């Protein structure tokens, strides 16, 4: 069964067509890279998949279940998690609190107004476990304001992983990172097990090509090339609209 199936998806903002009949089929465990020039509609496609935007036409299915009209808040409960191009965290809290919020989002405990969140040892342990996966367990109690950009990227990924997703959408996870930080995040992504299907938007082709098994090239809201890494890189249209000559 296909992990993520996007069928003939359309979205316009006024007269501007940002997604124009996109089809995407991602198999379970696959590592898919979405590339395209600025304004190609990559992040809009993510927003349509996660439900932050409603499509004008077309459908989105997650493991065979049509989720096109499902509220975006319910999709994480179905196994979909995402990270943001612009880091979106809780700046006044500690790293572990950020990850705890991610865990809490999927449990009925989030409605509990009577217990102390700091005494939820199972939640805290799980959050520590998620932080250990991204190498941040040692600084779990540090306020987010005192962390580097690279550490925040890893917190974003830890929050997504903490939700134990089946499909993980990564929106430019290497953006703004130094060479060392990029290597750390790259190793982190490579360590994610195969039961997690990953779709990544990325401009940094050095690291992204290593990650990708199949690549989809978007241009003006349309898929113009799709195939294996070698096929897409060798395609003249890729060179024309994205890689350059």
- Residues in contact with another protein by CB under 8 A are 50, 52, 72-77, 82, 84, 88-92, 97, 100-102, 104-106, 109-118, 120, 159, 163
Taking the complex as a whole, the smallest distance from the CB of residue 158 to another protein amounts, in Å, to 13
Closest to another protein by CB, 87 vs 233, is: 87
Distance between CA atoms of residues 36 and 221, nearest Å: 9
Closest to another protein by CB, 134 vs 215, is: 134
Q: Which residue has the tokens 């050095």?
A: 206
Taking the complex as a whole, the smallest distance from the CB of residue 91 to another protein amounts, in Å, to 7
Q: Do residues 94 and 142 lie in contact, with contact meaning Cβ atoms separated by under 8 Å?
A: yes
Taking the complex as a whole, the smallest distance from the CB of residue 219 to another protein amounts, in Å, to 27
Question: Smallest Cα–Cα separation from 22: which of 49, 3, 1?
Answer: 49
Q: Do residues 81 and 168 lie in contact, with contact meaning Cβ atoms separated by under 8 Å?
A: yes
Taking the complex as a whole, the smallest distance from the CB of residue 230 to another protein amounts, in Å, to 34
Taking the complex as a whole, the smallest distance from the CB of residue 47 to another protein amounts, in Å, to 10
Distance between CA atoms of residues 131 and 133, nearest Å: 5
Closest to another protein by CB, 33 vs 104, is: 104
Closest to another protein by CB, 153 vs 186, is: 153
Across 123-134, b (16+ Cβ under 10 Å) vs e yields bbebbeebbebb
List, in sequence order, the alpha helices (H) in 1-110: 42-50, 95-104
Closest to another protein by CB, 106 vs 137, is: 106
Closest to another protein by CB, 103 vs 188, is: 103
> CB 17: neighbour CB atoms within 10 A?
16
Q: Kind and range of the H or E element at 113?
A: none
Taking the complex as a whole, the smallest distance from the CB of residue 74 to another protein amounts, in Å, to 7
Distance between CA atoms of residues 70 and 87, nearest Å: 25
Q: Which two tokens stand for residue 243?
A: 């890689």
């Amino acid at each position: 069964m296909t992990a993520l199936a996007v069928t003939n998806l359309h979205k316009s903002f006024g007269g501007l067509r940002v997604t124009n009949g996109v089809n995407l089929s991602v198999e379970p465990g696959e590592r898919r890279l979405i590339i395209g020039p600025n304004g190609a509609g990559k992040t809009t496609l993510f927003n349509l998949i996660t439900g932050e935007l409603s499509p004008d036409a077309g459908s989105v299915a997650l493991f065979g279940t049509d989720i096109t009209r499902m509220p975006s808040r319910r999709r994480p409960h179905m196994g979909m998690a995402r990270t943001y191009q612009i880091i979106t965290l809780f700046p006044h809290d500690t790293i572990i609190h950020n990850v705890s919020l991610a865990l809490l989002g999927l449990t009925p405990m989030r409605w509990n107004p009577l217990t102390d969140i700091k005494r939820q040892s199972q939640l805290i342990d799980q959050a520590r476990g998620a932080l250990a996966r991204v190498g941040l367990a040692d600084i779990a109690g540090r306020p987010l304001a005192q962390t580097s950009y690279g550490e925040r990227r890893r917190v974003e990924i830890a929050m997504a992983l903490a939700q134990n997703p089946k499909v993980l959408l990564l929106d430019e996870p290497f953006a703004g990172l130094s060479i060392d930080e990029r290597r750390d995040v790259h190793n982190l992504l490579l360590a994610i097990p195969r039961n997690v299907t990953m779709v990544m938007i990325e401009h940094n082709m050095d690291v992204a090509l290593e990650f990708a098994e199949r690549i989809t090239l978007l241009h003006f809201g349309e898929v113009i090339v799709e195939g294996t890494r070698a096929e897409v890189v060798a395609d003249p249209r890729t060179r024309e609209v994205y890689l350059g000559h």
